[in-house]
Chain A
Amino acid sequence: MSTAAAVVPARPVRRGWLAPAGPSLWVGMIGILTIAVLAALAPLIAPYDPTALALGKGLTPPSAAHWFGTDQLGRDILTRVLYAARIDLQIGTIGVLIPLVMGAVIGLFAGYYAGWPDALLGRVIDVVTAFPFLVLVLAIVAMLGPGLRNFYIAISLVSWVAYARIVRGEALSVRGRGYILAARSLGFGDLRIMFRHLLPNVIVPALVFGMSDFVLDILAGASLGFFGLGVQPPTPEWGVMIAEGRNFIITAPWVVIFPGVAIIVTSFFVSLIGDNVSDLVRRVRAA
């Protein structure tokens, strides 16, 4: 096992499938990489055109020609699931990156200076977390209007708070450490200390949270798509596809099943990585 585990003999070392940096981490990484490659290569490997209509061939069940069947407009579902992966992975990535950067910068300032900036941030965090995440995102999209761009704006306005809270807490506990005081006594500027010395030591928990946030964002994006508030048809997106197939669920369940499975599988791989990395971080910190 890892050296970190050897230093803490008090807790039993976790073995087997879910061990830190064990098989589950690799399954997750290879899985999500495969999905990303399939999404990137969609125009090359997808058997059909994602938006081409074939009205005579609507709602055909899975077959050799259409592995996942076709939807009510005769579009190939496998093709659309592949193309949708590009949108949904983008939703997860942008939905994490913008709030992560915003939250990290704001949390860093509040945690480094402490005092009133920190008190102010604390109040803002209290207020934003009082709203249920999905409700506030929905309300902002309702005001701005439907669409992917407005969804990103809404996610950014809501999610940064979670990252700011994590980074701020970390920064508050680290700001009195020797190496920060040393950097300050060497006359380094505040910005340099914050971004060169503080940031690398406080960012890891935020990155770990980003993994589970990725899953939350995909779910939120798909929910908005499902209600017609996110990605607009005919662009394929998993939530949109589920909404479109909903009326045919009894006669043609495959239209709804496959995009749903795509969401579950993608989330599963990301969650495996996230859980594993957070275990790893906890173990290293305990040592």
Chain B
Amino acid sequence: MIRYIAGRLLLILPVLFGVSIVAFMLIRLIPGNPAVAILGERATPELIARVQNQLGLNLPMWRQYLHFLGNAWRGEFGLSFFYGEDASILTLQRIPVTLVLIGYAALIGLIIAVPVATVAAVRRETLVDHIIRLVFTATIGIPSFWLGIVLALLLSVRVRLFALGGAGSGGFDTLWHLTLPALTIALHISPILVRALRSSLIEVMDSEYVTTGLAMGLRPATLLVSYLLRNGLTPFISVLGLNIGWLIGGTIIIEQVFGIPGVGSLLITSILTRDYSIVQFVTLVLAFLVILVNLLTDLAYAALDPRVSFQR
């Protein structure tokens, strides 16, 4: 187990290195002089020279990258020219709301997906299964921003079930404000979750030990809980981990639609105000989040399924 964890951590290093290169290259994609683009056309030559120096734009490329790493090590990711603060401070302040929203959405997603997928798998190839699959084929194409607007209209304006906009004032108020956005994100990811869980449950149902259990005359309820769900849910954890990128993408859009002050709305606003250093840092942070979640799912998977850590 310890060897497995150590090996898994070692594998992350090259990915982190690559991710930092991509984040570094982003600013260099700006056409023309990035310093001018960052400061705007009316900037004084002195100011431009200062930013050029800060970004290390006069150095050769590989030195620019080392410069970037050095700044990053000191926690300096460049000033936001819109907010006048360091990009890293601005972003890290906004991370908790985003994490709560992602977790909340994942939870609601599971609450929707587990029963639906179980019914579909148990009643495989019946009318119920076909209806479930058709409905979730249709919902995969629902744009999350559209769904957010429509749900807000139906559940916050027409029926005053949920609070609308913002993140509330902490505690239960925050939960109440985040419920509709989290529900929207959950509906956005549920087709993928249902599909993955259904096929992993079917795989278990087709396995020989389930047939044996049936032949031994186990009650269907026992079979469902201790055979199917236990073995079908383990791969489901990694499915949730694998789709964390999809979950984050939905969260970013929904934060902006509902005006939630998280990392996602910061990203969209910063793109619109051309606040490049924030865009760069948020991109980096979200990639780290994906890597971290994938690591945690792998470890959880190994802890739940002893077969994993003995492989390789």
Using a CB–CB cutoff of 8 Å, the interface residues on chain A facing chain B are: 11-12, 14-18, 123-124, 126-136, 138-145, 215, 218-219, 222-223, 226-229, 238-239, 242, 246, 249-250, 253, 256-257, 259-260, 263-268, 270-272, 275
Contact = CB atoms under 8 A, between A and B. Distances in A.
B31 A144 contact: yes
- B-side binding surface: helix, strand, loop or mixed? helix
B116 interface: no
B125 A16 contact: yes
Contacts of A242: 143, 145-146, 149
B252 A134 contact: yes
A222 B142 CA distance: 11
Contacts of A126: 14-15, 18
Interface in B270-301: 270-272, 274, 276, 279-280, 282-283, 286-287, 290-291
B183 interface: no
B22 interface: yes
Contacts of A253: 153
Given A16-B125, A127-B15, A138 B150 contact: no
B2 interface: no
A246 B258 CA distance: 12
Contacts of A271: 137-138, 140-141
A141 B271 contact: yes
A275 B245 contact: no
A205 to B, nearest CB: 16
Contacts, number: 163
Given A135-B252, A138-B268, A267-B141, A256 B150 contact: yes
Contacts of A223: 143-145, 253
B73 to A, nearest CB: 20
Interface string B1-35: 00000000000001100110110001101110000
Nearest to A260: B146
Contacts of B142: 260, 263-264, 267
B127 to A, nearest CB: 9
B150 A142 contact: no
A164 to B, nearest CB: 15
B291 A130 contact: yes
Nearest to B137: A271
B246 A263 contact: no
30 contacts: A15-B125, A16-B125, A123-B14, A130-B15, A133-B249, A134-B245, A134-B248, A135-B286, A139-B283, A140-B29, A142-B279, A143-B27, A143-B276, A223-B144, A223-B253, A227-B256, A227-B271, A227-B272, A242-B146, A242-B149, A256-B146, A260-B143, A260-B146, A260-B150, A264-B141, A266-B141, A268-B137, A268-B138, A271-B137, A275-B137
Contact of A127 (B22, B30, B152, B153): B22
Nearest to B145: A226
Given A133-B245, A143-B30, 11 more contacts: A123-B15, A130-B287, A131-B19, A131-B287, A132-B246, A138-B267, A139-B271, A142-B279, A143-B26, A259-B146, A260-B146
A268 B140 CA distance: 8
Contacts of B30: 143-144
B101 to A, nearest CB: 14
B255 to A, nearest CB: 12
A215 B149 CA distance: 20
Nearest to A226: B145
A133 to B, nearest CB: 6
A140 B272 contact: no
